[in-house]
Amino acid sequence: MSTTAPATASTASPAPATVQFPEPMPVPDRVINAIVAAALAEDNPAGDLTGNVLIPAGATATADVVAREPGICAGLSVFAAAMKLTDPQLVVSPALADGQSFAAGDVLATVTGAARSLLAGERVGLNLLQRLSGIATLTRGFVLQAAGHRARIVDTRKTTPGLRALERYAVRAGGGHNHRDNLSDAVMAKDNHLALLGTGAELTAALVAARARLGHTVHFEVEIDRLEQLDAVLAAGVDTIMLDNFTLVDLAEGVRRIGGAALVEASGNVRLDTVAAIAATGVDIISSGALTHSVRALDLGLDLRITGAAA
């Protein structure tokens, strides 16, 4: 699909006008339903007291999810799950697809059915859709800033507990990619690990020994925070070397010295106003925790109108 960057504070300029983005890999329905069911149980443990005393049981309504600001859509299936798990008779009709851009005033989806049910599911559905669309919008800004270079924009494990699957989906909807999913997904030796492994030849030997214990499909990444560590790590034959909080000059030197022997990841000080320069150093991957831990939820509203009175 071809989309453009919305003109919001979450995206910076200049940026390419049009970039192709693949359809994001979806989250399984069972995962979405489990997360949404827990959120509904938290918000509505014993019925919506307000709706039950104010809204007639037979009243029906139609509600539009309306954007109050521009952005990138992510989480329509999550919003739909919030509605359907509240009331299976509610009908949710998306007006666009995840990963597409929208303008202020655009309708993202329409819901029809029992008015009480619409109001009971509104907050959970909107909370998740707003957060996920905020993540997708911010990610799209990073991706567009890095366009024209080889670097992928990826997230980190700095996600909201319990929402990782959804937040990482939103990164994909924004055109970004995912880092390791969890601690069981790959080996990633960070500064605190290396502090226990020694330096120089001792560090190389420790990494080689660790690699020998792994299956051939397991990815092995090592983080370093200064160029003096590079030779020892490079000699171990790891798959990815993360250059953490390096200057632009040192990033470019790291890329040159690694010379394609491993993937090069840049991390630290990654912002919308720095990501283009980081990408220009030739790194393969740029990771940013801010995509998920510091994002602002987009302003989306549910505009409801009664379509049928109680019998």
Judge if 138 and 31 occupy the same domain: yes
Active site residues: 123, 158, 190, 223, 244
Tokens describing residue 91: 């009908």
CATH number at residue 166: 3.20.20.70
For residues 8-25, average pLDDT: 61
Judge if 239 and 300 occupy the same domain: no
Judge if 300 and 288 occupy the same domain: no
Annotated binding-site residue? 308: no
Annotated binding-site residue? 84: no
Judge if 102 and 159 occupy the same domain: no
Annotated binding-site residue? 123: yes
The C-alpha atoms of residue 142 and residue 73 are separated, in whole angstroms, by 16
Give residue 308's pLDDT band: very low, low, confident or very high (50, 70, 90). confident
**CA 178 to chain CA mean position, Å:** 8
Judge if 234 and 252 occupy the same domain: yes
Strands 71-72 and 60-67: unpaired
Instruction: Average the pLDDT over each of 8-22, 102-116, 142-156, 218-232 and give the range with the smallest value.
Output: 8-22
**What digits encode the pLDDT tens for the residues 71-98?**
999 999 999 999 999 999 999 999 999 9
Annotated binding-site residue? 290: yes
What letter represents residue 107's amino acid?
Answer: V
Annotated binding-site residue? 213: no
Judge if 153 and 289 occupy the same domain: yes
Annotated binding-site residue? 191: no
Strand partners, 211: none
Annotated binding-site residue? 164: no
Judge if 248 and 280 occupy the same domain: yes
| pLDDT at residue 6, as a whole number | 47
Annotated binding-site residue? 140: no
Annotated binding-site residue? 211: no
Annotated binding-site residue? 268: yes
**What digits encode the pLDDT tens for the residues 211-246?**
999 999 999 999 999 999 999 999 999 999 999 999
- pLDDT reading at 309 higher than 60: yes
Give residue 20's pLDDT band: very low, low, confident or very high (50, 70, 90). confident
Judge if 185 and 232 occupy the same domain: yes
The C-alpha atoms of residue 132 and residue 287 are separated, in whole angstroms, by 18
- pLDDT reading at 9 higher than 80: no
Tell me what the pLDDT averaged over the chain comes to. 93
Give residue 310's pLDDT band: very low, low, confident or very high (50, 70, 90). low
| pLDDT at residue 2, as a whole number | 36
Instruction: Identify the domain containing residue 114 by its residue range.
Output: 2-144+296-308
**What digits encode the pLDDT tens for the residues 267-283?**
999 999 999 999 999 99
Judge if 122 and 251 occupy the same domain: no
Contact (Cβ atoms closer than 8 angstroms) between residue 151 and residue 23: no
- Write down the residue that tokens 């655009």 correspond to: 106
CATH number at residue 55: 3.90.1170.20
pTM of the entire predicted model: 0.92
Domain count, the chain: 2
Judge if 137 and 153 occupy the same domain: no
**In this prediction, what percent of the chain has a pLDDT beyond 70?**
94
Strands 19-20 and 60-67: unpaired
Map the chain to HEC letters.
Answer: CEECCCCCCCCCCCCCCCEECCCCCCCCHHHHHHHHHHHHHHHCCCCCHHHHHHCCCCCEEEEEEEECCCEECCCHHHHHHHHHHHCCCCEEEECCCCCCEECCCCEEEEEEEEHHHHHHHHHHHHHHHHHHHHHHHHHHHHHHHHCCCCCEEECCCCCCCCCHHHHHHHHHHCCCECCCCCCCCCEEECHHHHCCCCCHHHHHHHHHHHHHCCCCCCCEEEEECCHHHHHHHHCCCCCEEEEECCCHHHHHHHHHHHCCCCEEEEECCCCCCCHHHHHCCCCCEEECCHHHHCCCCCCEEEEEEEEECCC
Judge if 55 and 69 occupy the same domain: yes
Judge if 101 and 162 occupy the same domain: no
